[in-house]
Structure 1
Amino acid sequence: MHAAMLQLKNISLRRGTKLVLDGASFTLQPGEKASLVGRNGAGKSSLFSLLTHRLQADAGDVEMPPRWRIAEVAQDMPETDQGATDFVLEGDLQLMAARAALAAAEAADDGHAIGDAHVALAEAGEFDAVARAQALLLGLGFSMGQVDAPVNSFSGGWRMRLQLARALMFPGDLLLLDEPTNHLDLDALVWLEAWLKRYDGTMLVISHDREFLDAITQVTLHLDEAKINRYGGNYTSFESMRAERMLQQQAAFGRQQEKVAQLQRFIDRFKAKASKAKQAQSRVKALARMEKIAPVLTSADFQFEFREPLSLPNPMLVMNELEVGYAGQDGEPDKVIVRNVNRSVLPGERIGILGANGQGKSTLVKTLARAQAAMGGHVLEGKGLAIGYFAQQEMDVLRPDEGPLAHMVRLAREQGPAGREQELRDFLGRFRFTGEMVGQAVGSLSGGEKARLVLAMLVWQRPNLLLLDEPTNHLDLTTREALSMALNEYEGTVMLVSHDRALLREVCDEFWLVTKGRVEPFDGDLDDYQKWLLDQSREAARAARERDRAARGGPAATPAPAPVAVVAPTPAPAESGATRRDDRKATAANRQKQAERTRPVRKALTEAETRLAQAQKDHAVLLQDMAAPDVPPARRAEQGRQLKQLDELIESTEQRWLELTEELEQLQAGDGS
């Protein structure tokens, strides 16, 4: 086996009585990025547990380089008051080990060990570790004011983002991602996609987001009927190749069925005749030896449709000076997030609601759905408006101790349309709730099953306005496609918040952007929006690096301006040539006067910069020398002491540089500059 391959050979794995892998095999080359796809319950997460040694195979071998470091997103919800940045930093195990080694060396006053620890810290990227951690947090949607907030101050979904950032802090040689986009908004998803494209290790990802998979993977592993088939290409290529394979399999199945029927006819006709008994027996053996080709099964695919609305009010909604937000707690004032919304919603519109995390998309939808009160202004509803609301958190509209049938019975009784119990049971069957499942407590259902129940409840209500807030979070690809088809055939109005770009592209024909406390039409498509989001994340990451550099006392580079709308400058009034000449003379005189006043400080500043540059250069050379093999112990100890002296010199010179910079700024301000 190649030293850097990941290879599964004839793996069999049982979970309880279910055989989830049966002689499964595949190979991933170093640096390949692959998706693992298959129906919910097929065994994808079990395969991840096998790779991380949480499960042991019943048969077969898992082979990978022994020194490979595996990174994955922890699924537990951390309960700690540790700051977010420090929590993410701890994901870099190499950095943590180097820090611990330095602390131990300094405690022992061991110059040799101090030198080794400094080398290890440099290799682990200590100098920009905080900036890297905060860039991950900002990219995943945290604000700068949250990067040091306690972990336990965040909700469950945000804590999962923290776990994702922690895994990305040191992604190792093999990165395993199980549904990484479930708790992300579109802005964070686009950022993650760009980050994963740059990752140069081997990656295996489970996801039901086809555009995400298309963007970051070049290999597709399909887990089906306990076997794994490898396809070269992204998810769209896989679908095309699999469809071709299914057609070929169906044709082969048809030909084999004809052959089976022919053999069976011969056996039935001649098995009683002595002269033909031997030939008949050979046909029986041939039939037994024949490797049966399975038929192509499509009966498990899920489909549904929204029923025709009873009416289509025009307009559906009119928002006048609407303000949305949330009520203050413990005597705090109400918090308005979006204000001055003046928009109309018309019958048949398909509106995608875009916006960075925390800008108020879900709050707007909740307010329109009557799930919370407006903070100001008002919403005029058309006569006969019937709203179907899919909450981002399904449990907002479900009761954990009741079963699907109890939910439907109450819905039919309290909201309508009315329906008999058998009619409701049949209806639930169309959404894959059959037999005893209709009485199973919702709290014990999977995320996908809860989402399907919410969809069933929406369809039953026969709404003419659908307000959907992240409806695909727990849906597999088959169910997502069914939802897309149902929405496209739906005759009412759709307002959709989603990080699933395939759904947004297929369903929406206009977009609203929620940003900076306002709701405006977005003049562009999803590709334009993704470019805008990437520009925003680059600026945020650059600002984090500048803040980290300034916090460490070093000279900060000039920060790049945040992206702003381009506004044409207002032309200045015309001036006479003499006036402009006089102004230039006065400006030149002021510059000369300022140069004389600031010359000593500028000279000292230049000298400090020169000393700092030389010290940093000596520091780098010393680190390089210390990385050489077979350095004598006495020399290594001396190098450790020199490194400590250089660290102190750099720190004091940076402090002096900051003081001189402040003095120069004060002098320039005193001259009116």
Structure 2
Amino acid sequence: MITLKNVTLRRSAKVLLNQVTATINPGEKVGLVGRNGAGKSTLFALFTGELTEDGGEFSKPRQWRMAQVAQNMPETDEPATQFVLAGDTRLAEAQQVLEEAEAGEDGMAIAQAYCDLADAGAHDAEARAQALILGLGFKSSELNNPVDSFSGGWRMRLQLARALMCPSDLLLLDEPTNHLDLDALVWLEAWLKRYTGTMIVISHDREFLDAVTTVTLQINAAQLNRYGGNYSKFEELRAQQLELQGASFAKQQEKIAHLQKFIDRFKAQASKAKQAQSRVKALERMEKIGPVLAEADFTFEFKEPLNLPNPMLAISDASFGYRSEDGSETTILRNVSRSVLAGQRIGILGANGQGKSTLVKTIAHEMGALGGQVTEGKGLNIGYFAQQELDVLQPADSPLEHMIRLAREQGPNSREPSREQDLRSYLGTFNFTGDMVKQAVGTMSGGEKARLVLAMIVWQRPNLLLLDEPTNHLDLATREALSMALNEFEGTVMLVSHDRALLRAVCDEFWMVGRGAVGPFDGDLDDYQRYLLDESKRLREEAKRDELKEAANPATTPPPALAPVAAPVVKAAPAPAPAVSTVDQKEQRRLAALARQELADSIRPFKKELEANDKKLALLTAERAALEKRLSEPLPAAEIAESGKRLKACNDEIEALEERWLELNDMIEGLTAQVGNEA
């Protein structure tokens, strides 16, 4: 287990954790929460060994393998699959041992190395790596693209896949959802639920924490508080704790006041001096209960729009996409015909790369429509939050310079105050105080940049809000403030977000962007999550069919037009051929025999693995029966715990082997059908 005993952690002169004590048990899924700057990432650095404790004792099992997402942007031309595959440190170590054994021509060492490679899962390592890559939203055609060919966000997804590829006892995840869209997020949740090791995750996504954690550690006022349960349970327990603390504090204050009143009244009287002195000592010995300090939550509100045109927008037979520097056009969305009405709350759903941001950017005038018409209502005033804040911010300028420039752009007709002192005061309501108003934006944190963009949007008094992933750098308290402000906003909202709590709280209808079209989504977010899981399953099955077909026919690749999405593995029976000569018939029989031999060779490794699978299943089933029998008898507590732990491991292994057994049988049956058709 991981233990912290009276641990103190400092960053420069600031004490982030002051004599904290906590325990994390093996197999627990822990959510680490706290305000930005509270010390969450510093505590992670202690877990990884980058920092040492300034006081107290910290320990974790030496034999534990640890995995974490590297924060540096990978710069390599290595293919994506190989980059992720390299995350399997156990496999890499076994491969290194094999190479050394082969160089030394040590037969026994070579044999042992091959056994170690098999134990490390070398036979399906590439398939596992590619499953991680596809699950995080990449396309099959991108599996072997160079890492450098992807944008920053996609490269960070590859770093996440690489961390998940590593066999680990401890998995550390620091904001793993920041670069994910909703479909990849749903997949990641399902993967983490199956993870059997100890996991500690920092996240500001409430629903993600609820889905994958069972314990919550909160950093607050330099203390580390443990709560059993996910984030929602933590909030409930925390509220109860604060309520109890408030009541206890009030009761104690009444008692203190009563004692002080007696002391003040009788301390000068000789007959009562002894009693007064005893009450002084009682006050000194009393362990004071701290008051419930109201945290300075960030709150803001959107001002009432000056007007509300209806409809806000009318999109008619429009095409959206982008133009290259050479003037060529790439169309992503076609034949879009939608209306946006006053007061609507629209959530925009769709997989990454399908055109959500393209749609929003075109409406925001960041891009031009490629065709059709986009008609705006009279008096439309758009407030646009870009997915990358620096798209609308100047890194070298300060928040005050941004507001001054915005006031000048609005001109003298603006109804908002534009004097510098008024702008300073306004920025103060968004927590930009003192010298912060003159600090260069490029040196600010992601959360501070996001707050500045929100301040600029609110100041413009928009009637249509276009928000493209506004929560990426916001902590939970600021996300809650944004949710409350959007619910009170009287205009129209169009929201792209992977934060399901925000989507649920704000949106009352959804648009689906995908396959080149924009249309209504008839359902809620739960329906959409089920749709994503079904779609992911369909794509995996399609990929398996393609792999099977390629294994059966390595020299033949059917043209794309003849390979529909749900194409079956078994080939259609060929049409009757015209009569041919005896020589041609012999050649055909020879080629058919050769094809059957190649297909039989393809089946052989699957059969071999299936046999090994059957043997291992038999052994595990026998072991499980023995353990169940043993647990039915009286045993010491230690043996019960050990047997129970091993029984759970047996059941997990049996479940995984049975699933693989089914996959292997499907592959063999498919290939056997291929052989029959060729015969």
TM-score (norm 2): 0.83
Residues 1:295 and 2:291 aligned together: yes
Q: Tell me which moved more, 530-539 or 246-255.
A: 530-539
- Contact preservation (8 Å) 1:220, 1:238: yes
Q: 1:605 to 1:273 in 2, by over 3 A?
A: same
1:69-113 per-position Cα deviation (integer Å, ceiling 9, x unaligned): 111101011111111111111111111111222222223332212
2:33 aligned residue (37, 42, 47): 37
Q: 1:103 to 1:522 in 2, by over 3 A?
A: same
1:327 aligned residue (323, 329, 336): 323
2:402 aligned residue (372, 393, 407): 407
Secondary structure in 2 matching 1:513 = strand
Q: Tell me which moved more, 37-46 or 267-276.
A: 267-276
Shift of 1:231: 1.2
Shift of 1:562: 5.0
Counterpart for residue 432 of structure 1: 431
Secondary structure in 1 matching 2:216 = strand
Give the 5 Å matches for 1:35-114.
35-114=31-110
Give the 5 Å matches for 1:212-227.
212-227=208-223
Counterpart for residue 203 of structure 1: 199
Secondary structure in 1 matching 2:52 = coil
2:226 aligned residue (225, 230, 251): 230
Shift of 1:539: 3.1
Counterpart for residue 634 of structure 2: none
- Contact preservation (8 Å) 1:601, 1:664: no
1:336 aligned residue (307, 331, 337): 331
Q: Tell me which moved more, 390-399 or 612-621.
A: 612-621
1:345 aligned residue (340, 360, 363): 340
Counterpart amino acid of residue 507 in structure 1: V
Secondary structure in 2 matching 1:300 = coil
Shift of 1:236: 0.8
Counterpart amino acid of residue 70 in structure 1: M
- Contact preservation (8 Å) 2:551, 2:602: no
- Contact preservation (8 Å) 1:78, 1:159: yes
Counterpart amino acid of residue 135 in structure 1: A
1:119 aligned residue (99, 115, 118): 115
- Contact preservation (8 Å) 2:552, 2:599: no
Residues 1:381 and 2:353 aligned together: no
Q: 1:423 to 1:614 in 2, by over 3 A?
A: closer
Counterpart amino acid of residue 407 in structure 1: H
Query: Residues of 2 paired with 1:420 and 1:563: CA distance?
Result: 64
- Contact preservation (8 Å) 2:89, 2:167: no
Shift of 1:410: 1.5
Query: Residues of 2 paired with 1:538 and 1:333: CA distance?
Result: 36
Secondary structure in 2 matching 1:291 = coil
- Contact preservation (8 Å) 1:34, 1:220: yes
- Contact preservation (8 Å) 1:512, 1:519: yes
Counterpart amino acid of residue 504 in structure 1: L
Counterpart for residue 575 of structure 1: none
1:483-523 per-position Cα deviation (integer Å, ceiling 9, x unaligned): 11111111100000000001101111111111011101111
Secondary structure in 2 matching 1:342 = strand
Secondary structure in 2 matching 1:343 = strand
Q: 1:439 to 1:244 in 2, by over 3 A?
A: same
Query: Residues of 1 paired with 2:111 and 2:542: CA distance?
Result: 32
Q: 1:517 to 1:614 in 2, by over 3 A?
A: closer
Counterpart for residue 480 of structure 1: 479
Shift of 1:136: 1.0
Counterpart for residue 272 of structure 1: 268
1:14 aligned residue (10, 13, 17): 10
Query: Residues of 1 paired with 2:512 and 2:283: CA distance?
Result: 64
Counterpart amino acid of residue 522 in structure 2: D
Counterpart for residue 576 of structure 1: none
- Contact preservation (8 Å) 1:354, 1:512: yes
Counterpart amino acid of residue 279 in structure 1: Q
1:244 aligned residue (240, 260, 273): 240
RMSD: 3.2
Shift of 1:554: 9.2
Query: Residues of 2 paired with 1:618 and 1:490: CA distance?
Result: 64
Query: Residues of 1 paired with 2:75 and 2:464: CA distance?
Result: 40
Give the 5 Å matches for 1:247-266.
247-266=243-262
1:414-447 per-position Cα deviation (integer Å, ceiling 9, x unaligned): 1243422222222212211111111111111111
Q: Tell me which moved more, 600-609 or 358-367.
A: 600-609
Q: 1:512 to 1:278 in 2, by over 3 A?
A: same
Q: Tell me which moved more, 312-321 or 462-471.
A: 312-321
Secondary structure in 2 matching 1:26 = strand
- Contact preservation (8 Å) 1:321, 1:378: yes
Secondary structure in 2 matching 1:181 = coil
TM-score (norm 1): 0.83
Secondary structure in 2 matching 1:370 = coil
Shift of 1:616: 6.6
Query: Residues of 1 paired with 2:257 and 2:121: CA distance?
Result: 69
Counterpart amino acid of residue 78 in structure 1: P
Shift of 1:613: 5.9
Residues 1:390 and 2:385 aligned together: yes
Query: Residues of 2 paired with 1:315 and 1:63: CA distance?
Result: 62
Counterpart amino acid of residue 537 in structure 2: R
Query: Residues of 2 paired with 1:154 and 1:477: CA distance?
Result: 30
Counterpart amino acid of residue 358 in structure 1: G
- Contact preservation (8 Å) 1:11, 1:57: yes
Name the % identity: 62
Query: Residues of 2 paired with 1:123 and 1:336: CA distance?
Result: 48
Query: Residues of 2 paired with 1:659 and 1:601: CA distance?
Result: 18
Q: 1:378 to 1:432 in 2, by over 3 A?
A: same
Instruction: Name structure 2 gaps, 5 residues minimum.
Output: 557-562, 568-572, 617-669
Counterpart for residue 538 of structure 1: 537
Counterpart for residue 581 of structure 1: none
